[in-house]
Amino acid sequence: MNIILTTLNARYTHTSIALRYLFANLHEFKENASIQEYTINDNIHEIAEKIIKSNPSILGIGVYIWNSLIVSELINIIKKILPNTIIILGGPEVSYEPYRVDFSAADYIIKGEGEESLYYLIKDIFNGKKRDKSIIESKYVELDSIVLPYEYYNDHDISNRIIYVEASRGCPFRCEFCLSSIDKKVRDFPIETLLGQFELLWEKGARNFKFIDRTFNLNINKSIKILNYFLGKNDDYLIHFEVIPEHFPQEIRDKIKKFKPGTIQLEVGIQTLNPEIAERINRPMNFNKIKDNLEFLENETKAHLHVDLIIGLPGESIMSFSKNLNTLGLITNCEIQLGVLKKLSGTTLCRHDIDFEMIYSDIPPYEILSNSEISYLEMQELKRFTRYWDLCYNSGNFKDTIKYLWMDGDIYNGFNNFSLWLYKVSSSTHNISLNRLTEYLYEYLTSVINISKNEVSDILIRDLTRVDGRKIPLFLKENATFVPQIKFSEKKTLGKRQERHKDS
């Protein structure tokens, strides 16, 4: 047999840990299998061409919210050219019903964790045994019995891409918008075995580890051992964790304080600060603990932070969202990721559809279109707000300049006024270059808010030159009171985005 395992990642820098898990657990069929990774930006026919040239007898495809439409088209092409190829789908987008994308051309669908189910399905195919059902319901695997995937990150992956790792699966919380809440039992991988695998990756040159655990700081003993492992390394590296905002016991605080700038990044899931909304979606929230922990992380550590807020939760109005944003902006200067609510199959969000008039798109990523508190037109404006927020605020390109938009302290209204103006003059939310965005900010601050050209030029130059080697636009030079020389550094100790967020 010729087995190909494939998926389409969202970006080239991403890797699929799932494909490597599946490959690692194929046992005697591993020598007949290979991994082919693509991205959603690749040409669909070129992807099909490469797969067809390999002439697989079995094709396994990982399906996610970002690639489901392309996968549907891909399997139809493959089946027309290679009708005898057996196509097996797996991944979050096919693990829960209803399916809102047509996957009927596939031969089998594995729902749930597939490390063991795929192996046994391929074994049956190899032995000529036909399955009665095309949809296979997988049970949770025992994490101490499956083969770990880390040796299957190759040298190219390690040199050019993010290395995804995990120390646990599952989540104890029941947040209704999240698929992780379905697996309520948190299962940990054997920590000593895991650290041994990390060491193998480290020896091969891996320095960028992104943990996909939903609640990294839940298990204190496990967290401490992992943090100690990386604290024992002297080379430059970056580790990324998703953490629970209310749970930072002193032992974990003491460890995080020891990390140098540019070595640790924390994704803090807030989603909402409205206690009524949090209770409605079954998300526990303790504002005082969140505030205390964010202030600790902001003021006593060198961790790079970003916190998450969701727009469109059932019953949450624009006023409530604006209060969330303003509150977070007072607590922290870190990145604030603004996401639009998505209705994923398998979650229980649908129970709010009638009471709160929740209307979603049927096309991936299934974003909310409107609800009882936010009209479709208002939602469109909010989506543009999130895009411009990422370009101007989260990018770190305008760390100090951006604060001129809300000198009265009202972050939401200040930035929303700029967002409405920016869309009016640009008619675009994409393909806005850094130079063009600089021009827009300069024009808005000098012409609409009426700040002096000298002051705006000076602050924009200060922000732009946070990153060494950047050229200063001529119109800024002409109005600035001081123009520094362009600096060039031989070595960067921080990632590009972190470099822009650093303090002057």
Cβ neighbors of 58 (< 8 A, separation 6 or more) are: 1, 2, 3, 4, 85, 86, 88, 122, 125
**In the predicted structure, residue 485 carries a pLDDT above the cut 80:** no
Q: Is the CB of residue 109 less than 8 Å from the CB of residue 89?
A: yes
Its pTM stands at 0.92
Instruction: Render pLDDT for 174-212 as a digit per residue (tens, 0 to 9).
Output: 889 888 777 768 899 999 999 999 999 999 999 999 999
Length of the chain: 504
Q: List for the chain the helix, strand, coil content (%; round to 5).
A: 45, 15, 40
The DSSP code for 121 is: H
What's the N-to-C CA distance of the chain in angstroms? 59
Average pLDDT score over residue span 470-492: 81
Question: Which pLDDT does position 451 carry in this prediction?
Answer: 97
Lowest-confidence region among 190-194, 243-247, 389-393: 243-247
436: nearest Cα among 55, 367, 427, 349: 427
**In the predicted structure, residue 60 carries a pLDDT above the cut 90:** yes
Average pLDDT score over residue span 322-345: 94
d(CA 61, CA 19): 9
Helix (H, G, I), strand (E, B) or coil at 102: coil
Please list, residue by residue across 278-300, b when 16 or more beta carbons sit within 10 angstroms of its beta carbon and e when fewer do.
Answer: bebbebebeeeebbebbeebeee
d(CA 382, CA 385): 5
Question: Which pLDDT does position 498 carry in this prediction?
Answer: 61
Q: Which CATH class is domain 3-137?
A: alpha beta
Instruction: Render pLDDT for 124-166 as a digit per residue (tens, 0 to 9).
Output: 999 999 898 999 999 999 999 999 999 999 999 999 999 999 9
**Average pLDDT in the chain:** 94
Where in the chain do CATH 3.40.50.2300 domains reside? 3-137
**In the predicted structure, residue 71 carries a pLDDT above the cut 80:** yes
Q: Which amino acid is at 62?
A: G
Where in the chain do CATH 3.80.30.20 domains reside? 153-348
Task: Specify the CATH number for 153-348; select among 3.80.30.20, 2.40.30.10, 3.40.1190.20, 3.40.50.2000.
Answer: 3.80.30.20
